[in-house]
Amino acid sequence: MNLTTSINSQIFGTVQCPGDKSISQRALMIGALINQEMTIDGFLHGEDPLSTMNALNQIGAGISVDENGLVHLCKRKNIFQSCDEPLDLGNSGTGLRLMLGLTSGIGLNLSFCGDDSLSSRPMSRVINPLTEMGASIESSNGKLPISILPTSLKKQYTYELPVASAQVKSSILLAGLASGTGVEIIEPIQTRDHTERMLRNFGANIEIASEGSKNIIQLAPSNNLSAKNYTVVGDISSAAFLIVAALISNSQGLEIKNVGMNPSRVGVLLALQKMGADIKVRNQRLESGEPCADLKITQSILKGVELSGDIIPNIIDEIPIISIAAAFAEGETVIRDAAELRVKESDRLKAVSDGFSRLGVAHENFEDGMSIMGSPNTLLIEQPISIESHEDHRIAMSFLIAGLRCSKPITVKDCKNIFTSFPDFIELISSIGYKLEK
């Protein structure tokens, strides 16, 4: 599916932020493990969370969705069971890494597969600590296909993350929770803490402390979790596309409601505000243990900045759309310490660079980042052009947003991947004044 942009669009109105993909998947896994009646509201019905739901149902979770989109988890006689057919996680790196931890902790005989993109992504950074815990995991040089055999994990396990990663941390915590293993995780800097917040919300015995720049998470071996209905806050990574759209376009102002404001996720707002973005935060509150708020965005004159160091792990998913903002900012933006982007759904640094080359945006690509020479002017394109999505949802959406400041329509190829994380993207962006044509 190719999508073509329109020109001279104005962004305005009020929208509800779609549910957080990462939180939706964690709520499914932890809710299924609790094994009590529970309802999840605000769930993101994207391909990634649905892949995780299907995988959990394959091992007996019994998760259902009603006509209103509410997700229901039931109390089951048989907790979980091994499965002969591979669990297909599609394109979901979060689903695969966290499911490896959960099912290793439960002690099941399973195999995992995924699409071509997921099959090319490295999983050793999860496999290695899980193996140290006592899991029996076989893989194809650290990639899919992956199989696990039933084993008993250690009674106590300590792991210091060599590289900050919320997915690795969460995989180990879920393995510990499912097996009754006491876990201590030391991360070099704090990463996304959705798993810790959710575990605490359901009554887990988990403690978090800081020592210098390091963050230490301790999960007790004994936990008595209690189910309660859960509301998923909006995904700030999805909101980022709408925010940049309002900042760079001829916008009359945009309000986005129910945006997740987890301190480990708001780096994208800090980065954009550093660039001069007019973003106002209103109605701050807690929802199921997660902070959220409403955002008011006004068209802004942006300036180039340097982004590196501690902020990078907390904006890693948003760097493609931040790069689009940088392309329409005054002066140079330099992004460093982002080598992890090379092993996402695509090599995102190369994918952004390829798109910029097509648009004529001056830039330089580094091994761990890039520099972008921006201009606040509309990009003058002599004729309509096409840009490859590289089968990556964030690349596809980023360059569709860039089309707001192009003099001719641009076509982004192979946009079906958008449905993995933002299933209503086309309808939502249309509702605020930006038409996309299939």
Give me the active site residues, please: 317
Nearest CA to 246 out of 10, 4, 7 is that of: 10
Cα three-residue angle 360-365-371, rounded to 5 degrees: 75
Decide: residue 72, CB within 10 A, 0-12 exposed, 13-18 middle, 19+ buried. middle
432, 242 contact by CB (below 8 A): yes
Q: Please state whether 350 falls in left (phi above 0), alpha (psi between -120 and 50) or beta.
A: alpha
Pairing of strands 278-287, 71-73: unpaired
Strand 331-335 and strand 306-307: pairing?
parallel
Cβ contact 409:7 at 8 Å: yes
Q: Are strands 64-65 and 385-388 parallel, antiparallel or unpaired?
A: unpaired
Tell whether the torsion through CA atoms of 196, 201, 206 and 212 is positive or negative: positive
Beta-strand relationship, 71-73 and 64-65 = antiparallel
Whether residue 90 contacts residue 47, with contact meaning beta carbons closer than 8 Å, is answered with: yes
3-state secondary structure of 401: helix
Closest to 100 in 3D by CA, of 205, 192, 173: 173
